Chain A
Amino acid sequence: MSLKSIWGRAGKALLVLMLGLAAGGLIALSPDIASPLVVLQLPGLLALILDRSPGYGMARAVLLFQAAACVRPVMDAWYHCSGVDGCMTYLAAWPSVARVWLAGAVAWILGQLLPLGLKVWDDYRLRDRRSVLTARRDVIVAEWGLDRHRLH
């Protein structure tokens, strides 16, 4: 096993540990905030469960987008609500939920479209490279009288 993979696995475990500690700390310090936050992050958590890609790239993107969308509602809820019911009412209201889930959807759509775009751009670049190579090959074959079929 290489040193790089050992560091990669250790870093991943550390990340999971830090996220677990952060989640546990949040639940311990402020369970009234943590409960509605689970509702807001629900699509991201589902994505984390369903994502089969290596490194959970899609789930990570969805969680990060939703996290960014949660920052302002959580800050508001921190100062303006109290109790699990109050905060649930404040944070899990449809406008907040819709905005956060929309951010998750945007992340998902972006995660689907960006690879397609990259693939199309790469195909275009390689097609151009291939035509350059083929032309160069034809020139060499003509210049040296080489048997095209034999070389293929």
Chain B
Amino acid sequence: MSDHSSVALSSSLIAGRYAIDTSQSLTDAGAGLPCFLARDRSAGDGRRIALAVSRDFSPRVRHLKALSDPIDNLMVPLGHGIAPLSGSKGEGYFVVCPAPPGPPVSANLNVWPDKALLDLVLAPIARVLDALHGRRLTHRAIRPNNVFQAARGQLVTLGAAWAAPPAMHQPAVCEPPYSAMCHPAGRGDGSIADDIYALGVLLVTLAGGKIPMANMDDATVIRWKLDLGSFQSLTRDVSLSPSLAELLRGMLAEEPDHRPLPAALLDLAHLRGRRIAARPIRRSQRPLMLNDIAVFDGRMLGFALLTDEKKAIQFLHNGLVTQWLRRSVGDATMAAQIEDLVRGGAADPRSGPLAYATLVMRTIQAVNPRMPLCWRGVALWPDALPSLLAAALCTDPTLSAPVEELLVNHITGTWLPSASRAGQPESFDMSQYRYLLKDGGPSGMLRLFYALNPLLPCTGPGMATEWIASLSDLLRFLERTAVKAGDTMIVPPIAAFIAARADREIEVQVTGLSNINDAKTSRLPELLLLRNLQAKYHPAPMPALASWVVKRLLLDLDRWRNKPRREALKRHLEVLAQAGILSRLLTVMNDAAARSADERGLLAAVREIAMIDAEVAAIDHGDEARLTDAARVGQAVTGGIGLSIFILMVMSAMLR
């Protein structure tokens, strides 16, 4: 193999060692995500898998960074990066993981005995969760098709959960109801208690040999879980041993704090003595019908208010909710609290277009503090805003308006999470990105999208098959496409991408460029931006881009008034373009001393032309004066000749 081809090959490896073969798809290994065969060039047993990352949803960056060491029975991320797709279909982003030991347990569901459940499933996964909990991480993808077993009697291995937002592909049945009711992209990292819940659902599935609540849609699953409780809903047609039922009752507890920690699951004898009684919920005998939902308690009321905002506002304003709380539930305190909210400023439509949405949000939070943030019918946990924003911009336009309101008005900052969720690590601090919304104008959301999802690619024109995730990648792309580029390269999506991924200085420059609407005026700022980008993020020769820049600069060449200097400058720029360094081109073009000399030369030329014109005019119009002068001089000369002859004659006569 030639040096050139070996370099090309090594550049297509992830982390310098993993080669992806996208022609070999592995249907069962990715738990629903596209998965391909990968090879580790540095290991003897080189079989690995590569999970494809969606262009629209970010992988879990914090987990990819934190999980650098192997964990037994977990498919930890070994590497991640960009690799070419087979058949010249462009590029993709992949997360490389160890290959699963066998098929997923969902491939051949049967009834597992209790001992196998505890020893082969609960114990290894609890150890994995304990290791993750120690790193302040969660898994959030525990489901039957993401748990693998080499053979009967072997310990199961937990699959990967790093290539998509947390819990995004979790079925509603595997999630606690307060996570299941969220938009799939809005579930957030959650807590380890959510993983314990999903593990409990897995155990119920394996104990019963079937997926519980399999024939129900997501809304029904959530309503059943809220109405009956998760344990009762999930185990109603599964026969469980008393000890396993006791264990699952704890794991599927409604209150996250009541679920055992992973370490406790490793000591079942100690766990059996631990039982936390949940506080009984006030239920009414007479339901409040909100659309087709029969509301018997505060949990269901919160969900019902979430599902129909208009109806919720109507019920709050006409007092049906508070009346039902007082008379049927007997909770006068809650009714008074809601009446205060309705009467307060949040209920006043004059206080702004957000008043009703704010009222519904606060009412839901008041009636059930465990509910996620509910805004205009969308439920989410605030730490999921980056992926929810991605969903709004890329896949679900109906989310755009609510997500924009949440971000622009900083609703998440005023929403207080429940105590069980308050201590969870946030994956980002929204306040440090607010300047992007403020500066970005119409592109503010797009800027925020790129800033909050740092591994997702740019969505600029012509980039559909490439994975442009860094400014260096972007500059390489611009270099490749410069030959067929139009009048401008920094189109709005690319400007937003640069503003989000570059430093503050560049961001300010992009904002200034975006505020210019005139193509001619924006030409030089665009070139200056490209120059700074090259200097900071890709200081390598880019001759094609430089040639494009020269073409743009030549349009401004008429600012130089001296034609020979213009020609010389043009030749000089074309020579410099071959070197591919943009700063040199702009230095030559913006040489202040040379420009000043050119201006001075122009003024001198104008003055000289004025003098020439005056002299030519004098020549053209001075004929008569010159004739007079000639006559005067001619006669004077004739007189002089006569005088000379006279003197000579007098002298000659006197001397004779």
B601 vs chain A, min Cβ distance (A): 7
For the complex formed, measure the closest distance between the CB of B407 and the CB atoms of chain A, giving whole angstroms.
53
Q: A118, B630: Cβ atoms under 8 Å?
A: yes
B508-530 Cβ-contact flags toward A at 8 Å (1 or 0): 00000000000000000000000
Q: Which of A72, A119, A142 contacts B653 (CB 8 A)?
A: A72
Report the Cα distance A107→B636, complex, angstroms. Answer: 11
Asked if A145 is at the interface (CB within 8 A of a chain B CB), the reply is yes
In the bound complex, CA of A62 to CA of B631 (Å): 15
Query: Which range holds the interface residue count of chain B?
Result: 35 or more
Is A49 among interface residues, defined by CB-CB distance under 8 A? Answer: no
Q: Are B631 and A60 interface neighbours, CB within 8 A?
A: no
Chain B residue at minimum C-beta to C-beta distance from A110? B638
- Report B-chain residues with C-beta under 8 Å of the C-beta of A46: none
Q: Is the CB of B631 within 8 A of A53?
A: yes
Is A61 a contact of B563 with CB atoms below 8 Å? no
Tell me if A16 is interfacial: C-beta within 8 Å of chain B.
no
Task: Judge if A146 is at the interface, Cβ distance under 8 Å.
Answer: yes
Check A54 against B605 for contact (C-beta < 8 Å).
no
**Do the beta carbons of B642 and A68 come within 8 Å of each other?**
yes
The answer to whether B635 has its CB under 8 Å from any CB of chain A is: yes
* C-alpha gap A124/B630 in the complex (Å): 13
Question: A17 at interface (Cβ–Cβ under 8 A)?
Answer: no
Question: Is the CB of A3 closer than 8 A to any CB of chain B?
Answer: no
Q: Are B563 and A142 touching (Cβ within 8 A)?
A: yes
In the assembled complex, the Cα of A119 lies from the Cα of B625 at a distance in Å of: 10
CB-contact partner of B643 in A62, A64, A114, under 8 A = A64
Name the residue among A53, A67, A118 with the largest chain B CB count within 10 angstroms.
Answer: A118
A126 within 8 A of B: yes
B602 on interface, CB distance cutoff 8 Å: yes
Q: Which residues of B contact A54 (CB under 8 A)?
A: 632
- A111 CA to B638 CA in the complex, in Å? 6
* CA–CA, A129 and B618, complex, Å: 12
Judged by a CB distance under 8 angstroms, whether B616 is at the interface is yes
| Contact mask for chain A residues 67-95; partner B; CB cutoff 8 A; 1 contact, 0 none | 11101100100000000000000000000
With known contacts A136-B612, A140-B608, A152-B613, A115–B642 Cβ distance under 8 A: no
Which residue on B lies nearest to A130, using beta carbons?
A: B619
Whether, in the assembled complex, A144 has its beta carbon less than 8 Å from a beta carbon of chain B, the answer is: yes
**The residue from A57, A69, A126, A152 contacting B636, defined by CB atoms under 8 A apart:** A57
Once A64-B639, A75-B653, A111-B635 are accepted as A-B contacts, the answer to whether A144 and B602 lie under 8 Å apart by CB is yes
- Among residues of B, the one whose C-beta sits closest to the C-beta of A121 is B630
Q: Which of A75, A114, A129 contacts B637 (CB 8 A)?
A: A114
Contact for B635 among A57, A126, A145, CB less than 8 A: A57
B650 at the interface (CB under 8 A from A): yes
Main secondary structure of the interface of B (DSSP, over half): helix
Question: Which residues on the B side are within 8 Å of A117 (C-beta)?
Answer: 634
Q: Is A133 an interface residue (CB 8 A)?
A: yes
In this complex, which of B561, B612, B635 has the most chain A Cβ atoms within 10 angstroms of its Cβ?
Answer: B635
Name which residue of chain B comes closest to A115, CB basis: B634
Interface size on A, residues (CB 8 A): 45
Q: Mark A126-152, 1 if CB is under 8 A from B, else 0.
A: 100110011011001111111000011
Checking A69, A134, A145 against B561 with a beta-carbon cut-off of 8 angstroms, the contacting residue is A145
Nearest B residue (CB) for A119 = B630
B561 touches A67 (CB 8 A): no
The answer, yes or no, to whether A98 is at the interface (CB within 8 Å) is no
Question: With A110-B641, A115-B635 in contact, is A126–B613 under 8 Å at CB?
Answer: no
Known: A111-B634, A122-B630. A72 touches B609 (CB 8 A): no
B653 touches A71 (CB 8 A): yes
- B649 in the interface (beta carbon within 8 A): yes
Cβ-based interface call for B626 (8 A): yes
Task: Say if the beta carbon of A101 comes within 8 Å of chain B.
Answer: no
Q: B650 contacts A107, CB within 8 Å?
A: no
Kindly name the residue among B562, B609, B632 whose own CB sees the greatest number of chain A CB atoms within 10 A. B609
B630 touches A116 (CB 8 A): yes
**A-facing residues in B602-656 (Cβ within 8 Å):** 602, 605-606, 608-610, 612-613, 615-616, 619-620, 626-627, 630-639, 641-643, 645-646, 648-650, 652-653
Task: Among B605, B608, B633, B642, point to the contact of A107 (Cβ < 8 A).
Answer: B642
Q: B564 to A143, Cβ gap below 8 A?
A: yes
Q: Residue on B with the closest CB to A117?
A: B634
**Judging by beta carbons under 8 Å apart, are A133 and B630 in contact?**
no
B638 A61 Cβ-Cβ under 8 A:
yes
The answer to whether B606 touches A146 (Cβ under 8 A) is yes
* Chain A residues in 8 Å Cβ range of B606: 146, 151
Q: Quote the shortest CB–CB distance from B62 to chain A (angstroms).
A: 61
A34 close to B (CB within 8 Å): no
A61 CA to B640 CA, complexed, in Å: 8
Instruction: Let me know if B630 and A151 touch, CB within 8 A.
Output: no
A137 to B609, CA, bound (A): 6
Of the listed residues B562, B620, B630, B634, the one surrounded by the most CB atoms of chain A closer than 10 A to its CB is B634
Chain A residues in 8 Å Cβ range of B642: 60-65, 67-68, 107
Cα separation A71 to B650 with both chains bound (whole Å): 6
Which of chain A's residues has its CB closest to B606's CB? A146
Option from A115, A137, A145 in Cβ contact (under 8 Å) with B612: A137
Answer whether A144 and B563 are a contact pair too, CB < 8 Å, given A58-B635, A114-B638: yes
State whether B616 touches A61 (Cβ < 8 A). Answer: no
CA distance A117 to B638 in the complex (A): 12
Question: Nearest A residue to B615 by beta-carbon distance?
Answer: A133
Contacts of A151 in B (CB 8 A): 606, 609-610, 613
Give complex CA distance A114, B639 in Å.
11
Please name the residue on chain B nearest to A120 by beta carbon.
B630
A114 touches B634 (CB 8 A): yes
Tell me if A140 and B635 are in contact (CB < 8 A).
Answer: no
CB pair A60 B650 closer than 8 Å = no
**B632 and A57 within 8 A (CB):** yes
Please measure, in the bound complex, the distance between the C-alpha atom of A88 and the C-alpha atom of B265, giving whole angstroms: 166
Contact partners of B612 in chain A: CB under 8 A: 133-134, 136-137, 140
A interface vs B, CB < 8 Å?
A: 53-55, 57-58, 60-65, 67-69, 71-72, 75, 107, 110-111, 113-119, 122-123, 126, 129-130, 133-134, 136-137, 140-146, 151-152
Q: 21 pairs across A/B with beta carbons < 8 Å? A: A54-B632, A57-B639, A61-B638, A62-B642, A67-B642, A67-B646, A69-B649, A71-B653, A110-B638, A114-B634, A117-B634, A119-B630, A122-B630, A130-B616, A133-B612, A136-B612, A140-B612, A143-B563, A143-B605, A144-B601, A151-B609
- A sample of 13 more A-B contacts (CB under 8 A), given A65-B641, A110-B641, is A53-B631, A62-B642, A71-B650, A111-B634, A111-B635, A111-B638, A115-B632, A118-B633, A129-B615, A134-B616, A145-B558, A151-B610, A151-B613
